Amino acid sequence: MSVFHHASVELAFLDEGQGDPIVLVHGFASSKEVNWVQPGWFATLTGAGRRVIALDNRGHGGSSKLYDNADYYTAKMAGDVRALLDHLVIERADVMGYSMGARIVAFLALDHPDRVRAMILGGLGLHLIDGVGLPESIAEALEAPSLADVTDPQGRVFRAFADQTKSDRRALAACIRGSRQVLTREQVASIQSPTLIAVGTKDPIAGSPDELAAAMPCATALPIPGRDHMLAVGDKAFKAGVLEFLRVHG
């Protein structure tokens, strides 16, 4: 694992393989290992001849833990990805994000279109426009004394996941409250990068991938059959769809 600094924030990352670069941005309460290494994405993409780079978002994994909500504005986290490209002297790359990570890469494509060649949004559909991310109840679940004190079903899922990954729950609560920005339909319509929008057919969190794809000029929706938000991440249909998309557009 390597680290670099973006202003005062230390960010951990992995960089493996040879070939055209693809940068992976993980979801909320996850990490580069949990989201990308363990489900086999690094093996899949390096095996396909790609250079694969993944960072721990601020507040997550091996990166700096911050406790001010404003430190987690989505544009700031997209700036971390741009700074990683700068650090590695990569002018332009394909990018893939999952859930919160998909929101981050969409902001990157909007703010720095010259840095994004093709984009994959996993676990995020129309809620990029009409949803502000995870609800306040999940932040409250993370701040509860224990999992037994959490009654909200969705809150219990995320609290158990945060406990399992030994995350800094205070930093994650700040992240939920800070990263609640959306894009407008006009902003989404201005993104010219070829885009794949992959969402599980049983995912209640992401919003419609087809409706988001219809709002973008160069986007295609990919349903991940029978998968919910958590289980879609490592699905073989997701991987096959991404490899085909990168073959055509990468």
Q: What is the pTM of this model?
A: 0.96
Strands 93-98 and 21-25: parallel
Whether residue 126 contacts residue 56, with contact meaning beta carbons closer than 8 Å, is answered with: no
For residues 110-119, average pLDDT: 97
Distances (CA, A) of 212 to 36, 73, 188, 198, 204: 24, 22, 9, 11, 15
pLDDT at 154: 87
pLDDT band (50, 70, 90) for residue 104: very high
Cβ neighbours, 10 Å, residue 57: 27
Look at the block and give the residue holding tokens 């990168």.
Answer: 246
Instruction: Tell me the mean pLDDT in the region 69-76.
Output: 97
Residue 133, pLDDT > 80, answer no
Q: pLDDT, tens digit, for every residue of 168-184?
A: 999 999 999 999 899 99
Task: Tell me the two tokens of residue 147.
Answer: 């999992």
Q: What is the mean pLDDT of the chain?
A: 96
Token code pair at residue 101 = 């990570």
Question: What is the greatest pairwise CA distance in the chain?
Answer: 49
Mean pLDDT of 26-34: 95
Cα gap 83→99, rounded to integer Å: 21
pLDDT at 214: 98
Q: Alpha-carbon distance 82 to 20, whole Å?
A: 17
Residue 7: count other Cβ atoms within 10 Å of its Cβ: 9
Beta-strand pair 9-16/51-55 = antiparallel
Q: What mean pLDDT comes out for the span 99-117?
A: 97
* Separation between Cα atoms, residue 185 and residue 75, nearest integer Å: 17
Predicted confidence (pLDDT) per residue in 184-202, tens digit: 999 999 999 999 999 999 9
Domain-by-domain residue ranges, the chain?
2-132+182-249
**Superfamily grouping for domain 2-132+182-249:** Alpha/Beta hydrolase fold, catalytic domain (3.40.50.1820)
